[in-house]
Structure 1
Amino acid sequence: MRELEQRMDGADADELPLVLDEYAALQEEFAARDGWRFEARAEEVFEALGLRRLPPARLVRDLSGGERARLSLALLVLRRPPALLLDEPTNHLDDAAADWLAGWLRTYPGPCLMASHDRDLLDSAVTGLIDLDGPEGTAVRYGGRYGAYTAEQAAARRRWETRYRAWEERLAAARARLSRASVTARGYRGPRDTGKMEYDARAVGAQAAVSRQARSAREEIRRLHASSVPRPPAPLRFRAAGLADGPPTTDTGDGPLVEAEATETLGGIRLPPVVLQGTDRVVVVGPNGAGKSTLLRVLAGESPPSSGTVRHRPGLRIAHLPQESHFPAETQPLLRAFAETVNAAEDEAAEQLLGLGLFREEDLRVPVGSLSVGQRRRLDLARLVRLQPHVLLLDEPTNHLSLPLVEDLQAALDDFPGPVLTHDRRLRRVAGRLIDMGEAGSSRGGPAMSPEGRTRRDR
């Protein structure tokens, strides 16, 4: 529009009407996109998604993965496209941002197709769900929200299992008939000379009947194979026995396993005091940018604070699951990457990996760089389990995990014999206490703690 305004200043009498027409059309499109309120809308969206506190001069390449994801989402919202395709839109969002996005999606005037494992979002902002792993390997659309979907999906799975059992029983019965007919046919022997006439009279009809039975059984088997019912695949279920089998204490030392106090980062963010011992279950909450991920890195010893102290009991093994996966060798097969992590031969590593229920055998030879984000997250979990840690520090561990796997992870954390500290709103039911980091970049003192965590639905 500014370019057209400059062209108006220098346009002659013949050109000016054309420029004015072009300017009017552009103004109409600008108004249709609510351009006059763009700056106000941008401030609203950036505030809602926790981006207002980012320095305007910071380069995109210097943003964290979560910040880049929120920035991409903000730009998408501001463009107001006629249709939306969203991939895990609530990953890296705090409670307030996730609630805001759900409300925005409910009023969005166009169609939206999203991939999400966020049950709160699926229960509040969708009108239907598509199961890509539906009965008999087909994609199936279900009306309604997540609660209705789970009930109908379970019923469809039961119908599929019933059909498969019936098909299997019919196939087994047909094969049994064919086997009996074959045995009977082999039992007929040629007659002795003295009984040839008698044999001919009795055997010809019986042999014909056996042949008909065999043909009928073979035809039935052919028809059953032509209209076979595939076996319902066993769902991936996280069997994290290694977590429950992990050592409950370190070999030496007394007092807390992890203790941090008066810590401050190089960026000036004051972190809350933390004590982890026994079977503590702690969830860290706070707005985006408050330093939740930084706190986990400091506690893990990966990011030393600029002030304060962090103490680990001697011999402590801490497993830190970061928000983003990092694999140095992207061309390396999944199995080899896991085997090197757990220092095991590939045969042993394959047995361990398949035993966790996170992968199928055909996944093991896939290069790490070709894995989906969800598969990479599952590989992170597998590596963590086999480290047999004393303490778990989990940064949004359920991102990109299917809802059944999230439930399995919750159960595994319930049984883990050491402390668990996590930044993940979907795991609050395992929390014994809550650390609220308050405002982003806050320099306030210690955290507010409550006896138990609360989900968004509880508030």
Structure 2
Amino acid sequence: MIRLDNISKQNGHQVLFIDASMGIQKGEKVGLVGPNGAGKTTLFRMIAGQEAPDDGLVTIDPGMTIGYFSQDVGEMSGQSAVAAVMDGVGPVSALATEMAQLEAAMVDPDQADAMDEIIERYGEVQSRFEELDGYALDARAREVLAGLSFSQERMDADVGLLSGGWKMRVALARILLMRPDGMLLDEPSNHLDLESLIWLESFLKDYDGALLMTSHDREFMNRIIGKVVEIDGGTLITYSGDYDFYEKQRALGEAQRQAQYERQQAMLAKEVKFIERFKARASHAAQVQSRVKKLDKIERVEPPRRRQAVQFEFRSPPRSGEDVATFKDVHKGYGSRSIYAGLDFRVRRKERWCVLGANGAGKSTLLKLVAGSETPDQGSVTIGSAVRMGYFAQHSMDLLDGDETIFESLDGSFPQAGQGALRTLAGCFGFSGDDVEKPCRVLSGGEKARLVMAKMLFDPPNFLVLDEPTNHLDMATKEMLVAALADFEGTMLFVSHDRHFLAALSNRVLELTADGVHQFGGGYTEYVESTGQEAPGLHPGGAVGG
């Protein structure tokens, strides 16, 4: 289906691929992994025909259709979300748009004189629309958008009015509706809530074409892929199995290479010692010469390239009182929409509450009420004694000073800390060496999130309130964060769509549903076991509930 043979590619001075090869067959679902900057997006662009390799061949089966979803969605406006999704399938969308315009013209008194022509044209357009199975396509487009958590209202609204995250979903829906022979999905799990993620997982499991995808969501990858292609130092290495199996195989391979390297180093040291000891003796000249020649011929084993993984260790936060946050008869709404009506809820010391609920259920509102950035319409939210709160929200990243470097930003927050401690902190959150001199304005979303997180956790509060803390974070940073938070001695209240994060860190669940608010005494894993669902509003098996 798709083959890359002996690909070489260079971007400026950076060599991305050297004689790299891989293949994907029909029906195979493959995860593409590698550190940031390794060339994952370049590989996608070469398969999609948007870039050419410097050397080697990219071969796609004749007649094979490829759908490529990237993080760069381009401009979208002037049409509804449904029309934008149908656009990807060809002329049907243009016919749908013209039908809508003609329907508007039919009821416009200013166009009464041209009514015969309008009706005649409408008949032609509608006939062609039916020929292309347009009504079924419209229904399918709406089904895909509903799966990605669009309301009917949002489906029919102008795409140009949507936020960046919702535009991403429109671009993703366009590829899914196409059902091409091959799909290239670059981070499709970004910007999705838990319900959408589970729906997408189910969709991709049923997809019978060739799939190549990247994702920072371990659970999502594990459930979909059966093969991993790793970009490592310019080569492509293929592993069979899911992401967890790949990690084990990679670690095993590294350990074997390290042992092989150490054995060879010990042997070489022994030989060099013999040569040094006897090179001046005529009686050993033949032996010395023989060993020098032998050393020249030995192929040197390279030590495994170590992935830098720095662990962050929490200082112990000061102890808070037993009652950390208390909601008493809280009412909150926006306009005519009620979010909470008489909510009673208490967070106690050392509890780790994850908040689950469909879009619009009030997850972020709950966190804002705790953080004090929103106030209840009625009732009270009380923060307990000796509570020091750290609040992470998506807008936290907008508060960074764009003119400051990463190091200046850290130094401004912790002037007493000393350069060594701050550089270690930056290293834990993925900023090593000269990275700390980058100005904040050029940072990606993930880098900004890491910097805000580093500032929040260096002098830890005893109550962490986290709204989607893993958005934008790569797999390695997520693992570090999970490991660090697992040892955190304080209290947590958080929203996340990452099931690995939810399962590893929660010991309580607050479920927000249309039927009211439910509290579970166990963590996310126990919640899934007791309810048979991974998110509110989903029936067992991941199908979207009615």
Q: Identify, as 1 or 2, the structure richer in strand.
A: 2
Which of 513, 519, 524 is matched with 1:454 structurally?
A: 524
Which of 450, 457, 460 is matched with 1:378 structurally?
A: 450
> What's 2:339 paired with?
270
Q: 2:231–2:237: 8 Å Cα contact kept in structure 1?
A: yes
Hey, what's the Cα distance between the residues in 2 that align with 1:218 and 1:377?
55
Q: Identify, as 1 or 2, the structure richer in helix.
A: 1
Hey, what's the Cα distance between the residues in 1 that align with 2:152 and 2:348?
34
Which of 111, 121, 124 is matched with 2:223 structurally?
A: 124
Q: Report matched runs for 1:232-247 at 5 Å.
A: 232-242=305-315, 245-247=316-318
> What's 2:356 paired with?
285
Which of 132, 135, 150 is matched with 1:51 structurally?
A: 150
Which of 423, 444, 457 is matched with 2:495 structurally?
A: 423
Deviations 1:341-393 (A, max 9, x none): 33345443113333x36444354344445555444433333222113111011
Query: Residue 165 in 1 paired to residue 241 in 2?
Result: no
Moved more, 37-46 or 263-272: 263-272
Cα 1:416–1:341 change in 2 (3 A) is same
Q: 1:178–1:217: 8 Å Cα contact kept in structure 2?
A: yes
Instruction: Give unpaired runs (5+ residues) of structure 1.
Output: 11-18, 186-202
Which of 172, 181, 195 is matched with 1:73 structurally?
A: 172
Cα 1:296–1:92 change in 2 (3 A) is farther
- Bigger-Rg structure (1/2): 1
> What's 2:398 paired with?
326
CA positional deviation for 1:217: 4.7
Hey, what's the Cα distance between the residues in 1 that align with 2:370 and 2:160?
26
Hey, what's the Cα distance between the residues in 1 that align with 2:215 and 2:150?
22
Hey, what's the Cα distance between the residues in 2 that align with 1:433 and 1:246?
21
Hey, what's the Cα distance between the residues in 2 that align with 1:277 and 1:381?
23
Hey, what's the Cα distance between the residues in 1 that align with 2:297 and 2:331?
72
Cα 1:347–1:120 change in 2 (3 A) is closer
Instruction: Count residues with an aligned counterpart.
Output: 406
CA positional deviation for 1:319: 1.2
> What's 1:192 paired with?
none
> What's 2:56 paired with?
none
Percent identity at matched positions?
Answer: 28
> What's 1:348 paired with?
421
Hey, what's the Cα distance between the residues in 2 that align with 1:213 and 1:36?
85
Q: 1:260–1:275: 8 Å Cα contact kept in structure 2?
A: yes
> What's 2:484 paired with?
412
Q: Report matched runs for 1:351-362 at 5 Å.
A: 351-354=424-427, 356=428, 358-361=430-433
Query: Residue 436 in 1 paired to residue 517 in 2?
Result: no
> What's 2:372 paired with?
301
Q: 1:177–1:214: 8 Å Cα contact kept in structure 2?
A: no
Hey, what's the Cα distance between the residues in 2 that align with 1:327 and 1:91?
22
* SS in structure 2 of the partner of residue 274 of structure 1: strand
Moved more, 87-96 or 379-388: 87-96
> What's 1:15 paired with?
none
Which of 251, 259, 277 is matched with 2:326 structurally?
A: 259
Q: 2:325–2:382: 8 Å Cα contact kept in structure 1?
A: yes
Q: 2:187–2:216: 8 Å Cα contact kept in structure 1?
A: yes
Q: 1:282–1:422: 8 Å Cα contact kept in structure 2?
A: yes
> What's 1:199 paired with?
none
Hey, what's the Cα distance between the residues in 2 that align with 1:419 and 1:54?
38
> What's 1:37 paired with?
136
Cα 1:56–1:232 change in 2 (3 A) is closer
Q: 2:354–2:502: 8 Å Cα contact kept in structure 1?
A: yes
Cα 1:175–1:381 change in 2 (3 A) is farther
Cα 1:62–1:405 change in 2 (3 A) is same
TM-score (norm 1): 0.73
Instruction: Give unpaired runs (5+ residues) of structure 2.
Output: 1-93, 103-115, 533-546
Hey, what's the Cα distance between the residues in 2 that align with 1:410 and 1:159?
28
Q: Report matched runs for 1:191-210 at 5 Å.
A: 205=282, 209=285
AA at the equivalent of 1:156: G
* SS in structure 1 of the partner of residue 185 of structure 2: strand
AA at the equivalent of 2:362: G
Hey, what's the Cα distance between the residues in 2 that align with 1:305 and 1:58?
30
Cα 1:308–1:51 change in 2 (3 A) is farther
Hey, what's the Cα distance between the residues in 1 that align with 2:248 and 2:200?
26
Deviations 1:295-340 (A, max 9, x none): 2222112233444322223553211222464364446443333333
> What's 1:188 paired with?
none
* SS in structure 2 of the partner of residue 299 of structure 1: helix
Hey, what's the Cα distance between the residues in 2 that align with 1:138 and 1:370?
29
Moved more, 94-103 or 309-318: 309-318
AA at the equivalent of 2:351: D
TM-score (norm 2): 0.63
AA at the equivalent of 2:360: G
Deviations 1:85-130 (A, max 9, x none): 3233233434432221112112334333221132332222223212
CA positional deviation for 1:286: 0.8
Deviations 1:125-174 (A, max 9, x none): 223212234xx774322123234323322322222222332343344345
> What's 1:338 paired with?
410
